[in-house]
């Protein structure tokens, strides 16, 4: 993934939100209810990004897919996978050995 394509997409998404928010805040109704202007600006920004930002999104996701394929092909693992394996190894080492044939002891109950 190229950092430039991710940066371009992020800036365009922010502009798709900030510009409608600024325009909506010019109206007196939204000056009294700025949270409502933010909600409408978010909906407008989402709509604009779905309509017009398909190509930058495809570039970003394509770059991420290429990186993941390259990592899989070389056998490199992510830090999260290595961390999960290390945690599993610690848990397995600290767990008491269990006997499959042994049943857990049942507490004795006295009936009155």
Identify the pLDDT of residue 35: 96
Distance CA(1)–CA(99), nearest Å, equals 50
Identify the pLDDT of residue 107: 64
**In the predicted model, is pLDDT for residue 100 greater than 60?**
no
Name the average pLDDT for the chain.
85
Q: Please name the helix (run of DSSP H) or strand (run of DSSP E) that holds residue 74, with its range, or none.
A: helix 54-74
For 44-95, write each residue's pLDDT tens digit.
999 999 999 999 899 988 988 888 888 888 877 777 777 888 888 888 888 7
What pTM was estimated for this model as a whole?
0.60
- The domain locations on the chain are 1-77
């Amino acid at each position: 993934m190229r950092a430039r394509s991710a940066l371009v997409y992020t800036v365009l998404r922010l502009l798709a939100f900030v510009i409608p928010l600024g325009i909506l805040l010019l109206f007196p109704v939204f000056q009294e209810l700025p949270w409502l202007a933010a909600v409408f600006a978010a909906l407008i920004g989402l709509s604009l990004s779905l309509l017009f930002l398909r190509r930058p999104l495809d570039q970003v996701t394509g770059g991420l897919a290429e990186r993941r394929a390259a990592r899989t092909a070389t056998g490199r693992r992510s830090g999260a996978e290595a961390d999960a394996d290390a945690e599993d190894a610690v848990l397995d080492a600290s767990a008491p050995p269990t006997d499959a044939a042994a049943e857990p002891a049942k507490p004795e109950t006295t009936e009155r």
